[in-house]
């Protein structure tokens, strides 16, 4: 560049050439491609694949190379099939129970999958079933409904999941109908859900002889949110739920429950008419589904919230590590997650048997 500021069209230093940007000089070797294929099969994240390959082979590969190679691996796996079609074929090969529903254009709108080991566990431990939906699990931004059971050692087991296009009553009825097919003639003692209208109505329609309990954790959070919307501080709302409301919940008899409800209305909180009307309209009419004096009559094995499902959501999202996967990746990572959980549950069951046997020997 001359004094006038105009460029003369040449560099004043030697031009640096970086191999990272050269497809020829920085191409993946056959060994590196095979390594990526093995790592992709174990659901290793792309950034970790790049780090491992670069460290092992003293290379400088970039993220685009890893993404392109894993995309190529997926295309080869599909063999010309769509991700959904491949998922259905693979699930069938692995012995899954498959429920699928299509729209008028033959596009899948609902998919229910149940691992073969989950079917076996459900046939033995079908007494309590917890249901909840989660989001941010797939590229399509569609809800994922998880169904969770409880084992004899009080550990969760995944019954199945439903990938659905909406959360209408009709969709929940379809999901529960698929569950009913898996159960055969077995009848769960209780379902635990949040107070989502469509789900609750469908539970009572599809399983009319099963108790339907409401998640007390969600109930408490809803009450706290309502109180804060009416002007209460967070501390005040939490104190009410932990005090007056918990006392009402814990009543052991119907008479005790009615008396505590009267006491609550006569307390300082009773002067807040908008809040009292909210409780009367939203929660008191369905007290049979959350008050201890009613739910203690149900064989729920201590499950009065859907926290176990929340835990399952968290576990699955750790496996996914992204909210932009297509259905094939969602399925494969769910499958791997279930396989690991089945192994751990079998270990817990065996440990439990050995513990009981050891205690028995001490008394002999």
Q: Under a CB-based contact definition with an 8 Å cutoff, are residues 340 and 166 in contact? A: no
Region 64-80: mean pLDDT is 85
**pLDDT at position 359, please?**
44
Six-digit token string for 356: 């009981």
Per-residue pLDDT tens over the stretch 315-352: 666 655 555 568 888 898 889 888 988 999 999 888 88
Per-residue three-class SS string for the chain = CCCCCCCCCCCCCCCCCCHHHCCCCCCCCHHHHHHHHHHHHCCCCHHHHHHHHHHHHCCCCCHHHHHHHHHHHHHHHHCCCCHHHHHHHHHHHCCCEEEEEECCCCCEEEEEEECHHHHHHHHHCCCEEEEEEECCCCCCCCCEEEEEEECCCCCEEEEEEEEECCCCHHHHHHHHHHHHHHHCCCCCCEEEECCCHHHHHHHHHHCCCCEEEECHHHHHHHHHHHHHHCCCCHHHHHHHHHHHHHHHHCCCCHHHHHHHHHHHHHCHHHHCHHHHHHHHHHCHHHHHHCCHHHHCCCCCCCCCCCHHHHHHHHHHHHHHCCCCCCHHHHHHHHHHHHHHHHHHHHHHHHHHHHHHHHHHHHHC
Q: Output the CA–CA distances (angstroms, integers) from residue 53 to 30, 42, 44, in the order listed.
A: 12, 15, 12
Answer yes or no: is pLDDT of 48 > 80: yes
Cα 325 from Cα 168, distance rounded (Å): 24
Confidence of residue 79 (pLDDT cuts 50, 70, 90): confident
Q: Which residue has the higher pLDDT, 7 or 279?
A: 279
The rounded percent of the chain whose pLDDT value lies above 70 is 85
Region 93-108: mean pLDDT is 93
Answer yes or no: is pLDDT of 28 > 50: yes
Q: Under a CB-based contact definition with an 8 Å cutoff, are residues 159 and 147 in contact? A: yes
Region 138-149: mean pLDDT is 83
Q: Under a CB-based contact definition with an 8 Å cutoff, are residues 222 and 196 in contact? A: no
Cα 53 from Cα 31, distance rounded (Å): 10
Q: Under a CB-based contact definition with an 8 Å cutoff, are residues 330 and 138 in contact? A: yes
Answer yes or no: is pLDDT of 229 > 80: yes
Nearest in space to 152 (alpha carbons), one of 181, 172, 128 = 128
Nearest in space to 164 (alpha carbons), one of 86, 102, 85, 88 = 102
**pLDDT at position 307, please?**
81
**pLDDT at position 312, please?**
72
pTM over 0.75: yes
Contacts 24+ apart (CB under 8 A), 267-270: 269/240, 269/244
Q: At 318, give phi and psi (nearest 5°).
A: -65, -40
Cα 263 from Cα 243, distance rounded (Å): 13
Confidence of residue 207 (pLDDT cuts 50, 70, 90): very high
Cα 266 from Cα 62, distance rounded (Å): 68
∠140-144-145 over CA atoms, to 5°?
Answer: 160
Looking only at the bridges linking them, the beta strands covering 144-150 and 128-134 are antiparallel
Which of 84-98, 198-212, 319-333 is predicted with the least confidence, judged by mean pLDDT?
Answer: 319-333
Six-digit token string for 273: 């008419």
Per-residue pLDDT tens over the stretch 255-277: 999 999 999 999 999 899 999 99
Number of Cα atoms under 13 Å in the Cβ half of residue 64: 6
Region 345-360: mean pLDDT is 73
Residue listed under structure tokens 């931004």? 141
* CB contact set of 20 (below 8 Å; sequence gap of 6+): 26, 60, 61, 62
Region 206-229: mean pLDDT is 96
């Amino acid at each position: 560049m001359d004094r006038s500021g105009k460029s003369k069209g040449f560099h004043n230093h030697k031009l640096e050439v970086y191999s990272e940007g050269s497809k020829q000089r920085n191409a993946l070797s056959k060994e590196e491609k095979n390594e990526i294929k093995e790592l992709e099969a174990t659901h290793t994240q792309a950034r970790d694949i790049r780090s491992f390959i670069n460290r092992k082979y003293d290379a400088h590969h970039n993220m685009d190379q890893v993404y392109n190679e894993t995309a190529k691996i997926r295309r080869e796996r599909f063999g010309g099939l769509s991700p959904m079609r491949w998922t259905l074929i693979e699930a069938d090969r692995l012995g899954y129970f498959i429920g699928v529903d299509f729209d008028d254009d033959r596009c899948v709108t609902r998919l229910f999958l149940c691992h073969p080991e989950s079917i076996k566990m459900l046939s033995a431990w079908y007494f309590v079933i917890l249901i909840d939906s989660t989001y941010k699990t797939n590229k399509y931004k569609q809800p994922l409904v998880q169904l969770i059971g409880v084992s004899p050692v009080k550990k969760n087991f995944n019954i199945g999941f439903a990938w659905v296009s909406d959360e209408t009553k009709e969709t929940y009825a379809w999901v529960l109908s698929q569950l009913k097919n898996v159960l055969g003639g077995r009848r769960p003692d209780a379902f635990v859900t949040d107070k989502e209208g469509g789900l609750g109505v469908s539970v009572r329609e599809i399983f009319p002889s099963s108790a339907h309990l409401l998640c007390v954790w969600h109930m408490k959070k809803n009450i706290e949110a309502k109180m804060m919307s009416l002007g209460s501080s967070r501390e005040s709302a939490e104190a009410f739920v932990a005090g007056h409301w918990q006392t009402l919940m814990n009543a052991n008899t119907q008479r005790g429950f009615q008396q505590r409800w009267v006491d609550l209305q006569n307390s300082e909180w009773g002067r807040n008419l908008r809040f009292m009307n909210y409780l009367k309209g939203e929660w008191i009419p369905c007290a049979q589904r959350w008050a201890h004096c009613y739910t203690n009559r149900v064989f729920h094995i201590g499950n009065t919230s859907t926290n176990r499902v929340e835990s399952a959501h968290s576990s699955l999202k750790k496996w996914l590590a992204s909210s932009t996967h297509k259905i094939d990746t969602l399925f494969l990572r769910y499958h791997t997650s279930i396989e690991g959980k089945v192994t751990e549950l079998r270990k817990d069951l065996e440990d439990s048997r050995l513990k009981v046997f050891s205690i028995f020997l001490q008394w002999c």
